[in-house]
């Protein structure tokens, strides 16, 4: 008796239909090109997320530090403004005034 593997290997394989060859040839020539899933967004979403994160870090790194109050401006405030203590020592007086002095000066 023929062993099963020899019997199977002796089987005449079916002819590939011409229609299949034609379908594949059409795909290969007219090009089933790779297209992005969403045509308006060819850049992958993860790339966008990385760019945004980089821009944020670069912005935080390069932004100028807020201007510190100078001695002269403090003197000017103290001379002309009777509410100097209320402005500069808000916590000690327990007032509700919380603005930073240099914002007022500038």
Partner 1 sequence: MRHEYIRTFYEANRQGLYAYALTLTGDTAAAEDAVQTAIYKLLKRSFLPSELRPYAYRCVRNAAIDERRRFAGRMSTVPPPEDADTRTPGRPTFVDLVALLQRLTPAERDVVALKCIKELTFDEIARIDGSSLNTVASRYRRALEKLRAIMEEEPR
If binding is defined by CB under 8 A, does position 66 make contact with partner 1?
no
The answer to whether 75 touches 101, Cβ cutoff 8 Å, is no
CB-CB contact of 57 with 49 (8 Å) = no
Contact 77, 101 (CB under 8 A): yes
Does residue number 28 form part of the binding site for partner 1 (CB under 8 A)?
A: yes
Minimum distance of partner 1 from residue 42's CB (angstroms): 13
Q: Decide if residue 85 touches partner 1 (CB under 8 A).
A: no
Q: How far is the CB of 28 from partner 1 (least distance, A)?
A: 5
Helix (H), strand (E) at residue 54: helix 45-62
Binding site for partner 1 (CB under 8 A): 1-5, 7-17, 19-21, 23-24, 27-29, 31-34
């Amino acid at each position: 008796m023929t062993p099963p593997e020899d019997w199977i290997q002796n089987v005449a394989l079916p002819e590939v239909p011409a229609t299949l060859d034609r379908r594949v040839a059409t795909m290969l020539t007219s090009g089933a090109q790779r297209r992005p899933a969403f045509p308006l967004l060819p850049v992958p979403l993860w790339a966008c997320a990385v760019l945004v994160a980089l821009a944020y870090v670069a912005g935080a790194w390069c932004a100028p530090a807020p201007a510190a109050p100078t001695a002269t401006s403090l003197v000017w405030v103290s001379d002309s403004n009777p509410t100097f203590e209320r402005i500069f020592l808000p916590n000690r007086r327990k007032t509700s005034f919380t603005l930073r002095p240099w914002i007022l000066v500038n």
